[in-house]
Amino acid sequence: MRYMLLIYGCHREELPDAYNEVNKYVKELMARGVFLGADPLHLPDTATTVQVRSDEVLITDGPYAETHEALGGYFMVDCADLDAAIELASLCPLAKLGTVEIRPVLEAQFG
């Protein structure tokens, strides 16, 4: 079963050795055979919002969510059940600073 681990509530700068820590974590996920993907995101001040209303494309700069509330990145894992996902999330170095939200993936077949 796939789960997305969403990282909220931490500045990357607050973790002094962020790259190495996260890299070590990804290696651990790979060694366990659960790793599917992961990406850090640029800060929310780079965000652009798009909406289509009455066939018109509305583009807005932002939203400038507080960095602490914004999505900072994600990990995608494939593991047995929620208990396994909770264990993986608790190993994440970013969980020490911020919050990891575990969301089960709704498996739908497109295309």
Partner 1 sequence: MHAVEQVFREHRTRMLAALVRVLGGDMELAEDSLQDACTQALRSWTVVPDDPMAWLLTVARNKAIDRIRRARRSLSVEEVPVPAFFSSDDALLRAGDDRLSLIFTCCHPALSLEARVALTLQAVAGLTAFQIARAFLVPESTMAQRLVRAKRKIRDARITFTVPSDHQLPSRLSSVLAVVYLAYTQSYVASDRSLAAEAIRLGKLIASLMPDEPEALGLVALMVLQESRSSARRTPSGDLVLLEDQDRSLWDQAAITEGTSLLDLALSRRSPGPYQLQAAIAAVHSQAKSFSDTDWDQIVALYTELAVRTPSPVISLNLAVAVAMTSGPAEGLRLMDTITGLDKFHLMHSARADLLRRLDRFDEARTAYARALELATEDADRRFLRYRLNSLP
Q: Does 104 bind partner 1 (CB under 8 A)?
A: yes
Which residues are paired to 40 by β-bridges? Answer: 73
**Complex with partner 1: residue 59 or 108, whichever CB lies closer:** 108
Report the site for partner 1 in 71-90 (rule: CB under 8 A).
80-83, 86
**Complex with partner 1: residue 56 or 83, whichever CB lies closer:** 83
> How do 56-61 and 71-78 pair as beta strands?
unpaired
User: Rounded to the nearest whole angstrom, what is the least distance from the CB of residue 21 to partner 1 in the complex?
Assistant: 25
Q: How far apart are CA 98 and CA 111, in angstroms?
A: 36
The values of phi and psi at residue 60, to 5°, are -130, 145
Q: How many CB atoms neighbour CB 86 within 10 A?
A: 13
What are the residues binding partner 1 (CB under 8 A)? 1, 80-83, 86, 102, 104, 106-109
